[in-house]
Amino acid sequence: MVRVRYAPSPTGHIHVGNARTAIFNYLYARHEGGAFIMRLDDTDLERSTEENIDSMLDDIRWLGLDWDEGFLKGGTLGPYRETERKPLYDGCLRQLLDEDKAYRCFCTKDELEAERRKAEAEHRIYRYGGTCAHLSAEQVAKNIAEGKPYAIRLRIPQEDVVVHDLIRGDVQFKSEEFDDFVIARQNGIPIYNFATVIDDALMKITHIIRAEEHLSNTPRQVFIYRALGFDVPQFAHVSLILAPDHSKLSKRHGAVSVGEYRLEGYLPEALINYLVLLGWSPKDDREFFTVDELIKEFSLGGVGKSGAVFDKKKLTWMNHMYLGRKDAASILTILKDDFAEQYAAAFGGLPEDKTLAAIDLTKGNAQVLPDLFRLARNIVQPDVVITDEKSQEVIGSPEAKQVLQYLMEHFDAIPFGQGDDAMSSWVEDLRNQIPLPAKKLYSPIRVALFGAKDGPEIVKLFLMLEPSSIHERLQKALAL
């Protein structure tokens, strides 16, 4: 059975790159009928705080990436925090030392630095010289008895490593690139590469899907798998997410945390859809997928090798499309939960059915959720607020005065209460009654009734608002 894992280091918030990795693992597990495991790589004790863990889990849950086994859920192959697994690492270190596949290195920091400087002076790549590789058992025992600190290094065979990557094909690493590298520091804490191999092997992870920046770690991890007698899993290294200028994505390009996108008013389904399409291509030209559709369609064969460019404008457009399709009741629930203060200020004390109707009318014009407080406000509140300059220019134009005067003079002819068809016909017939281009005819009406030149259809505004409210809004707009 396919078993994949998401193993974040809880040293901060989850950013878009981390989120995409988690999503790819989740989709692959669900597509293959496998298991999605959550593990915490929390050996960075200074930065792995409980606050960061809670924030990370909130983001994962908000995205809907429910894990089958792991942290907080348990399972037969735990524990699922690296800080609770040290006895397992110590056992593997003893095994390697007993089998002479690893050795204690008593070299000091100054000695190693001197080696490094000598290599630089001789214009060659630095590799550990193997000073401690062949110490006798007696010398090792003497050093330990004297209390000399030591790291533990893995003995590396002089052979090339070929990593078969499910996205990139065969990737070859030459033997001269490696020396006997450290697998446990002098304080006894194993390095990342050592701990993650043991975790993945003992948790029976079959596929490791991660960012391409980890590709350089892979040959070292392969050496560790082989030394411990573990099966090597299959690897898939996903391309990086790039900024629009093809540099590394940073916060100034929109690489904020998942939690910040939530606070800005993006929907989880829109963020998932957008991030999946950064690096994965469906078999057709579709852009919109439900999570169930992504699970059905997703495959590693559709993941590209090239970096994907992050475009926040495209994400915002996609979010706008999702908002237009989402039912008003679901939107209302999110507004109450995630934007409680703004909700109370905009809709507090109003009947819920009126708020729902206002959301339903304006959701198609919102880019992000907080836009609805501004858009729907002018539907549910008695006074219309015109905030943008272009809409103010529209209402101050001579054409606006002509249109608004006509509506006030013929107000009794508006077919209130006669149904959608009658209202649609009346709105359409305005073009015959007022000799103006459609834009100059209808924009002043929308600004008068809604407060902005872009927004809901004119017919829907006349159907939604009370006749007395429409009369008052037209009158106030004409006064402007």
pLDDT tens, residue by residue, 131-154: 999 999 999 999 999 999 999 999
Q: Please give the full DSSP string across 4-37, using - where no structure is assigned.
A: EEE----SS--BHHHHHHHHHHHHHHHHTT-EEE
CA distance 48 to 12: 8
Q: How many CA atoms lie within 13 A of 7 on its CB side?
A: 26
Residue 78, C-beta contacts closer than 8 angstroms, at least 6 positions apart: 70, 84
- At 479, list the tokens: 């006064």
Radius of gyration of the chain (CA): 31
What band does 112 get if pLDDT is binned at 50, 70 and 90? very high
Residues with Cβ < 8 Å from 96, sequence gap 6 or more?
Answer: 102, 152, 154, 183, 227, 228
Q: Which residues contact 240 (CB under 8 A, 6 or more apart)?
A: 17, 211, 212, 213, 248, 249, 307, 308
Please indicate whether residue 251 is annotated as part of the active site.
yes
Burial 185-220 (b: 16+ CB within 10 A, else e): eeeeebbebbbbbbbbbebebbbbbbbbebbeebbb
Span 428-453, mean pLDDT?
Answer: 94
Whether 9 shows a pLDDT value over 70: the answer reads yes
Residue 378 has a CB neighbour count (10 Å cut-off) of 23
The DSSP H or E segment spanning 120 is helix 109-121
Closest CA relative to residue 155, chosen from 235, 86, 226 = 226
Predicted confidence band of residue 246 (pLDDT cuts 50, 70, 90): confident
Torsion of CA 405, 410, 412, 415, to 10 degrees: -110
Q: Shortest CA distance to 462 belongs to which of 434, 423, 431, 432?
A: 423
> Residue 75's pLDDT is what?
96
pLDDT for residue 104 is more than 90: yes
DSSP H helical segments within 327-466, as ranges?
Answer: 328-338, 340-347, 352-362, 371-380, 389-395, 398-409, 420-433, 438-450, 458-464
Query: Quick one: tokens of 268?
Result: 């989880």
Range name among 90-94, 199-203, 388-392 with the lowest pLDDT average: 388-392
Look at residue 254 in the predicted model and tell me its pLDDT.
58
Taking a C-beta distance cutoff of 8 angstroms, is the pair 1, 241 a contact?
no
Q: Do 89 and 195 form a contact (C-beta atoms < 8 A)?
A: yes
Question: Is pLDDT of 206 > 60?
Answer: yes
Q: What is the pLDDT of residues 48-95, one digit of tens each?
A: 788 889 999 999 999 999 999 999 999 999 999 999 999 999 999 999
CA distance 226 to 208: 16
Give me the pLDDT at residue 430, please.
95
Annotation: binding site for Zn(2+): 105, 107, 132, 134
For 358-372, how does the pLDDT look when each residue is reduced to its tens digit (9 = 90+)? 999 999 999 999 999
Rounded distance between C-alpha atoms, residue 25 and residue 37, angstroms: 9
What one-character-per-residue DSSP string does 151-179 give? EEEEPPPS--EEEEETTTEEEEE-GGG--
Q: Residue 193 in 3-state DSSP?
A: helix
Instruction: Give DSSP secondary structure letters for 266-310.
Output: --HHHHHHHHHTTTB--SSS-----HHHHHHH--GGGB-SS-EE-
* CA distance linking residue 53 with residue 13, whole number of Å: 9
**Beta-bridge mates of residue 35:** 3
Tokens of 297: 């369609």
Residue in 248, 251, 313, 390 annotated catalytic: 251
The distance of Cα 423 from the centroid of its chain, to the nearest Å, equals 45
d(CA 109, CA 119): 16
Q: Which pTM was predicted?
A: 0.91
Reduced to 3 states (helix: H, G, I; strand: E, B; else coil), residue 336 is: helix
Looking at residue 397, its pLDDT comes to 93
Q: What is the mean pLDDT of residues 397-424?
A: 95
